[in-house]
Structure 1
Amino acid sequence: MPPFSFRRHAGWWAAVALLLSLVSLDAQAIPAYARQTGSACADCHAGAYGPGLTPYGMRFKLNGYTDTDGQGTKIPVAVQLTETHTAPATAPSSTSLTEGDLYLAGRLTENVGGYIKVEADHTGHNTYNTRLGNLDLRFVAKELKLGGKDLTLGVSVNNAPGFQDPIAALPNASFIAPGGVTGTLLNLGSPNSPTNRVIGATVYALYDKVWYAEAGTYRSLAAGTQDELGYNRNGDPGKLSDTGYFRFAYMKDMRRQFFSAGLVGLTTKRRLPHAAARDDIDDLGYDLTYQYLGNREHIIQASYVNIYERRDYGQRLPSPVLPGTLEPKRGSARDQTASLSYTFRQSYGVQLSHLKSTGSSSDARYPPFGNPDATSNLYTIFWTPFGRDDSWITKGNLKLAATWFRFTRFNGRGSNVFGAPPGVKGVDPGDFNAFSISASLAF
């Protein structure tokens, strides 16, 4: 009986490694912001290192990253280095400097600020790929009044729909998303996701400190531009046109508690590849977030995100099961994420996430079973010794984390997910499990 082949399924392992890194590495507080505002990292982030934002951190983001302590100009630069040991269930373990990041982040003028991440990702054999990460440049008008109520107006130019969201609940802002063979456009873990491969602009407003609204548009970057920015052309999201994005949310800061409820939508026409027939795609989702902040000794956060995608395919594929027939013209996908985290004294924490990706059946698009459903869980414990007002380093940060990424279902099955024939050892969802220990230093 042939053994499990790591090489044969290297593509899936790479996808799993990416999802693991999204959770364990991209959750960062940026010391450049702490130096600019005079506040400790823990003032903006529930766990001192992120990614969860406190209401204070949400306001800083809404204000275009421009708030300052008024003590002169600060250099808007920060650096992050991450060392990781990864132990997959059935693949070789590895230890390496997995990522080095440069942040150009902070205030340019009273009304202009931003966030630019340039990252160097380890690709094996002591080689690194440098690419442009998240981008969010803002112009904001603050301290306005409308009907006697506070009003903030802003414009965001960004490259990942949802990254600019102040609540940080959407996948591109929380860095937590389901993985599988399908997924919505708003899910950074989906195949051919537009994350960081598009450019767009949105206009947003916060009224009476509780009502948030945002609308804008995006277009995909040319394949050659993506390549120049460090992205493999195999992940090209295709040619997007007539793209619209909206976000509405109710945000209630109750000092010791915070609650939000939001809606998000994305509609586009996509050609993948660029010469293919056009697919009409519409995403619509909702999210709920609750934070118990108390006196910051015990912080609890719970969130739930549910995004549904409707697809009208430009081309009907021949059915591999019923020769002479065509598969349905319409399809769908759904991504759901439920997360619960607890942080003690903004230093010690645990996070549990349940991730589920489902979609309509298609024998042609999702071989071998025609079922794209996938379910996974993330379990993370972490320690952040710095970044608080009472720590000896308040403008720098360190995060030590242990993460277990566990699949329970893949390709709609709990075993033999690639349909190995009798006598051949199959691949089970648990074969994609991985455990990692990481140390991230930001200064």
Structure 2
Amino acid sequence: MFKHCGVSLKGAQGHRAVTLALLFFCANVSSLLFSAEAFAVPAFARQTHQACAVCHIGGFGPQLTPYGRQFKLMGYTLRVGSNTKVPLALMLIESYTHTAKAQASAPANGFSTNNNTQLQQASVFLAGGITDHMGIFAQATYQQSSGLFGWDNTDLRYARTFTMSHHTAIWGVSLNNNPSLTDVFNTTPAWQFPYALSNITPAAPAVPILMGALAQQAVGLDAYTQIDGKLYVEGGVYRTLSPAFLRDVNVGFDGRVAGVAPYARIAYTWNLKNGNIELGGLAFSARRGLTAVNRTGQIVAVSGPSDSFRDVGADASYQLLNGGDHIVTANALYLHERERLDATYASGGSSHLHDSLHALNINASYWYRNTWGATLGMSSSDGSKDIIRYGNNGSPNTSSRTVELDWNPFGKADSWQAPFANVRVGLQYTWYTKFSGLVHNIDGAGRKAADNNTLFLYLWMAI
């Protein structure tokens, strides 16, 4: 989810160093960020003079309320009064991961094959309005598992309103580094559930390219409009950044996109008395070349033919927001990908020239007073068999279910130290009904799909 500029900090020493550095950073910027008023970081809350729960379901991110959706569409510029403070915020996620059976090898240097605690994520944000019509959401993140501090999600926007006939509309442009990062619904890959998950457990062997393969590796320019708060239309193009730049900002490189990769999105929202319903679709097309490792061990692009990926999807969401104690949300996304593997097939990396993939993600949440939450989700990916690409059974078919319980003691308007202190404690369990097309012997060495079942406990803090 978070692929990550410039500093490498390894193992436990890196963990302690980053934690101390962030505490030192908080102490030294407090005089800059904190005013005598009760409106401060997180940056967006300080800018709007609203509690985080006004924009987010569940105390704080990433699920957006209708107000939060409009705030993002308006380029993060909505504000109360004048604000000249630097719009900075910090986030930490400390986690514990347990799998039903220990992995065959440690997932990263300094980790065990099971029962790992880690500083999963430590992020610094530059987030807020720059001018009356321009704003930014930019994130840099450290991960203990990689030992790297790098470039994360970034979205620079310019937005305005206009009227035509009897209609009111928002239009804007976004410069960003992750296809679907621009979206305001929690259905598309950049923002879908699980919102936090372990990054040191086995993952599905294959998913469509739109589900994170180009995250932080590409730069895109999107134009969008929303009419009467109902019809949303967006279109843009993406190009991958150079391997040298991505190395400088500590982001992986999975191949260069040939030309540009177009992205399109359409959604319609019905605003109900006590909530809203959204239905939409999205499409993405990319041609990507292969990579190789050079003499110095660096991943570089390979010249020659490229593989073609065409993703088409449909999504839906529902929110029950009646202004009371109870909030219900439901989100769904289906993606179909057609693949023409000219580069991979020619190099002997696939059994077929043409392959396909499908992915389905469905989840539903209940929140009581934005404090206690429960979410049930399911995820499934499948596609055509390819022995060379996927090995063993030759199938990418993987299906899982996830249940998560959350407690947000802070984040509401009347919370302690609002809006400075935002905390979520989450307990998540994921179980697999199928992995790599199999229930038993999924790796050729006797491991079962259920052996990858994962218990994930996390503490998520934002200030």
- Which of the numbers 247, 262, 267 marks the counterpart of 2:280? 262
Which deviations, in whole Å up to 9, do the C-alpha atoms of 1:400-423 show, x marking residues without a partner?
A: 111112222111001100123xxx
| Offset of residue 270 of structure 1 | 1.3
Once structures 1 and 2 are overlaid, which stretch shifts more, 327-336 or 310-319? 310-319
CA distance in 1, matches of 2:135, 2:372: 31
CA distance in 2, matches of 1:201, 1:418: 41
SS of residue in 2 equivalent to 1:364: helix
Within 5 Å, give how 1:334-373 maps onto structure 2.
334-373=358-397
TM-score, normalized by length of structure 2?
0.81
| Offset of residue 269 of structure 1 | 1.4
- Which of the numbers 215, 218, 226 marks the counterpart of 1:206? 226
TM-score, normalized by length of structure 1?
0.85
SS of residue in 1 equivalent to 2:438: coil
Equivalent pair of 1:55/1:253 in contact (CA under 8 Å): no
CA distance in 1, matches of 2:216, 2:193: 13
CA distance in 2, matches of 1:116, 1:169: 21
CA distance in 1, matches of 2:156, 2:360: 29
| Offset of residue 88 of structure 1 | 2.1
| Offset of residue 75 of structure 1 | 2.6
Within 5 Å, give how 1:21-100 maps onto structure 2.
31-91=42-102, 92-100=114-122
Aligned residue identity for 1:335: A
* 1:226 maps to 2:242: no
Equivalent pair of 1:318/1:364 in contact (CA under 8 Å): no
Equivalent pair of 2:186/2:331 in contact (CA under 8 Å): no
Which deviations, in whole Å up to 9, do the C-alpha atoms of 1:367-395 show, x marking residues without a partner?
A: 12111110112211111111112223321
| Offset of residue 132 of structure 1 | 0.8
* 1:280 maps to 2:298: no
Equivalent pair of 2:127/2:135 in contact (CA under 8 Å): yes
Which deviations, in whole Å up to 9, do the C-alpha atoms of 1:295-345 show, x marking residues without a partner?
A: 24111111110011111121474899xxxxx94321111110010110000
Equivalent position of 1:196 in the other structure: 216
| Structure 1: tracts of 5 or more residues without a match | 1-29, 321-325, 421-425
Equivalent position of 2:149 in the other structure: 130
CA distance in 2, matches of 1:137, 1:317: 38
State the identity as a percent.
30
CA distance in 2, matches of 1:340, 1:240: 38
| Offset of residue 279 of structure 1 | 1.6
SS of residue in 2 equivalent to 1:392: coil
Once structures 1 and 2 are overlaid, which stretch shifts more, 350-359 or 271-280? 271-280
| Offset of residue 246 of structure 1 | 0.4
RMSD: 2.0
- Which of the numbers 322, 325, 336 marks the counterpart of 1:308? 336
| Offset of residue 435 of structure 1 | 1.0
SS of residue in 1 equivalent to 2:54: helix
| Offset of residue 103 of structure 1 | 0.5
Aligned residue identity for 1:157: L
Equivalent position of 2:168 in the other structure: 150
Equivalent pair of 2:193/2:377 in contact (CA under 8 Å): no
SS of residue in 1 equivalent to 2:70: helix
Equivalent position of 1:140 in the other structure: 159
Equivalent pair of 1:319/1:363 in contact (CA under 8 Å): no
| Offset of residue 230 of structure 1 | 1.1
- Which of the numbers 247, 262, 268 marks the counterpart of 1:250? 268
Equivalent pair of 2:290/2:344 in contact (CA under 8 Å): no
- Which of the numbers 389, 407, 413 marks the counterpart of 2:438? 413
| Offset of residue 167 of structure 1 | 1.4
- Which of the numbers 175, 196, 206 marks the counterpart of 1:182? 206
Equivalent position of 1:290 in the other structure: 318
CA distance in 2, matches of 1:255, 1:348: 24
SS of residue in 1 equivalent to 2:68: helix
Equivalent pair of 2:339/2:355 in contact (CA under 8 Å): yes
| Structure 2: tracts of 5 or more residues without a match | 1-40, 103-113, 196-201, 292-300
> Structure 1 residues 238 and 369 mapped into 2: Cα distance closer, same or farther (>3 Å)?
farther
SS of residue in 1 equivalent to 2:182: coil
| Offset of residue 71 of structure 1 | 4.2
Equivalent pair of 1:407/1:429 in contact (CA under 8 Å): yes
> Structure 1 residues 224 and 72 mapped into 2: Cα distance closer, same or farther (>3 Å)?
closer
Aligned residue identity for 1:90: K
Equivalent pair of 1:285/1:308 in contact (CA under 8 Å): yes
| Offset of residue 98 of structure 1 | 2.4
Equivalent position of 1:113 in the other structure: 135
The alignment of Structure 1 onto Structure 2 pairs a total of residues equal to: 394
